[in-house]
Chains A and B, each alone.
Chain A
Amino acid sequence: MLTPSKYWRESPQRYRLEAAKCTKCGKVFFPPRLVCDSCKNGEFEKTTLPDEGKIVSYSMIHVTASNFSDEAPIALGIIELDNGTKITAQVTDCTEDELAVGVPVKLEFRKVQEAGESGVLCYGYKAVLKR
């Protein structure tokens, strides 16, 4: 269940792509975490993910979770951003034929879902094709 506090807590990542960069080895974490899994350092500086990348894999999901059923089918992708960080995002504003591994995309700020009975509007990133 998506509650307001749970939604609000992740907003720096969903709205602004805020990530954490290890001050020792430079590894970037999205979302931020408290310890670097590479060098075990616990200090990070705030960084912002690049908003451009390419599709690593994708699927047109026909049977969605109930909170996405109004929009089915949806295209879901794993996107590798230009710094190497990978994220999961919907790919939108395109036809199924345009989707392919390696296609360049750009992240945009979009409405992602309406949560719960009251339909709380939830925002975040979606990928669009760079044409």
Chain B
Amino acid sequence: MREVAVIGVGIQKWGELWEKSLRDIFVESALNAMKDAGVDKIDSMYVGCMSSGLFTGQEHIASLLADYLGFNPNPAVRVESACASGGVAFRQGFIEVASGFSDVVLVGGVEKMTDVDGGTATYALGTAADQEYECYNGATFPGLYALIARAHMSKYGTTLEQLADVTVKNHDNGSLNPHAQYPFKVTREQVMTSTMVADPLRILHCSGITDGAAAAILAPVELAKSMKKNPIIKVAGSGHATDTIALHSRDDITFLRATAEAARRAFDMAGVGPKDIDFAEVHDCFSIAEICVSEALGFFEKGQGGKAAEAGETRLGGEIPINPSGGLKAKGHPVGATGIAQVHELVTQLRQDAGKRQVKNARRALSQNMGGTGGSALVHILEVA
């Protein structure tokens, strides 16, 4: 297996991009990544997208996007794993370069979510849960994460203040990120009095509806060296795991088994552990998710994620900064793009290019991307070679 480097990343300002189509936002990010990498051709492409069909009525987007990027007839594949689609695209591109099958692969993610009304968007996102045995009975995504939150509070004594502190921290970080959809600060009081969505989760515990795309260029480390890339940012570990998509089918609904397993695989490949990670970008689709993820990744003991957030251990300058980008909460969550945007932040930070939100001397970082209530999970570890 060849060593693989991320030689370029691209993104744009996320938000409600009324004037831009799905193909526009994808191509914009892809061109930014290619420019950043200094390449003008790619061998193949993977695109993570959860539901272009339900959000825009368009399927068959891999070939469409290759066309608009000017890369027909080269192969392009769309991958879907709900909100983890971007993470899967990254991993498939990594495998293709590592195997020697291709040299320069573009991995991207895109979601155009504001062409439909809120009810349709809620329905489309709900398809990541068990349609027949969860959604049929009234489950929504905030509702399912609310069930996790209530169980975590009941089992471990996690508090509403601790949940709010995750949001406050992510908005603090997001206020320093020029690409963020919601680049402003919020207070604990604002979070705890915001509109109730699914008790105990309020609107400020939830990520929003976002249009956005992100892209990265993968190549063998040897090629990155010959292109005089500095620093060389290497993919040190990649882990992917699955779990039941129905939350009720799990023994412990507060523990994200697939995330723990994906982390174990990525740590094994990289030959490192949680203590060797300088910062992490994780899937905080809801504030409780970040708490559960921080435990499943091994940064904190089971049940201690809320207390750690309250103590500031996950802030910039803390023990293990989590979501310096602002996370899904402040940066936005165009579902298929999220896994690649996390990589964008990892690379930006490892290049020491993150400005005011820079994690000092970051050399090794982790991204965690998951689908549904954790039925699929990807963990990647990037380091300065």
Contact = CB atoms under 8 A, between A and B. Distances in A.
B19 interface: no
B253 interface: yes
Contact of B151 (A2, A90, A101): A101
A25 interface: no
A78 B151 CA distance: 10
Nearest to B155: A101
Given A76-B143, A88-B247, A60 B137 contact: no
Interface in A30-62: 31, 56-62
Contacts, number: 105
Majority secondary structure, A binding face: strand
B225 to A, nearest CB: 46
- Interface size classification for chain B: 35 or more
Nearest to A122: B136
Nearest to B244: A37
Given A59-B199, A62-B198, A124 B136 contact: yes
A60 B197 CA distance: 8
Q: Which label, helix, strand, loop or mixed, suits the secondary structure of the B interface?
A: helix
A63 interface: yes
A86 B248 contact: yes
Interface in B335-372: none
A2 B149 CA distance: 29
Nearest to B143: A61
A66 interface: yes
Contacts of A89: 137
A112 interface: yes
B136 A112 contact: yes
A65 B135 CA distance: 9
Contacts of A101: 150-151, 154
B68 interface: no
Given A31-B133, A56-B253, A87-B133, A65 B138 contact: yes
Interface of A: 2, 6, 10, 13-14, 31, 56-66, 68-69, 74, 76-78, 86-90, 96, 101, 112-113, 122, 124, 126
8 contacts: A10-B132, A14-B136, A56-B151, A57-B151, A58-B147, A63-B122, A65-B122, A76-B198
